[in-house]
Amino acid sequence: MSDAIKRFGTGEKGPGGQALPFARAVAADGWLFVSGQVPFVNGVVVDGGIVPQTHQAIKNLLAILKEAGYGPEHVVRCGVWLDDPRDFWTFNKIYAEYFGAAPPARACVQSPLMVDGKVEIECVAYKKP
């Protein structure tokens, strides 16, 4: 493995407390690839539906960016999965609170999620090394 590649943390814990086999983020030559973030706090999905879950998923994403030395201004692309397409407009209002000034490119699709949540968000960020 190259010294130019740095991994940040391990994936969330699955059933039985075992860490899932992925890095929370991987940096390479100025690029940062952040794995999909779900609305977990201490391994548990937050209650309350799309509004608190969107805030939490984005907060989790921003925490990983910060840990790696990046900020929302470095995000060039996001991928979003919504469990329910009826949540699209509510999600967009909250997303704009965090990325509205200079939004990155984005894809947003409906998909059942691997956890009992309403949203998952991943991103790619870039900062000149």
Q: Rounded to whole angstroms, what are the CA distances from 21 to 12, 57, 63, 72, 93?
A: 9, 20, 20, 26, 33
The angle formed by the CA atoms of residues 62, 111 and 54, to the nearest 5 degrees, is: 30
Give the class (CATH, top level) of 5-12+22-126: alpha beta
Query: Could you give the residue ranges of the DSSP H alpha helices within 26-68?
Result: 50-67
Domain residues of the chain, as ranges?
5-12+22-126
For residue range 25-81, list pLDDT tens digits in order.
999 999 999 999 999 998 889 999 999 999 999 999 999 999 999 999 999 999 999
| pTM score over 0.85 | yes
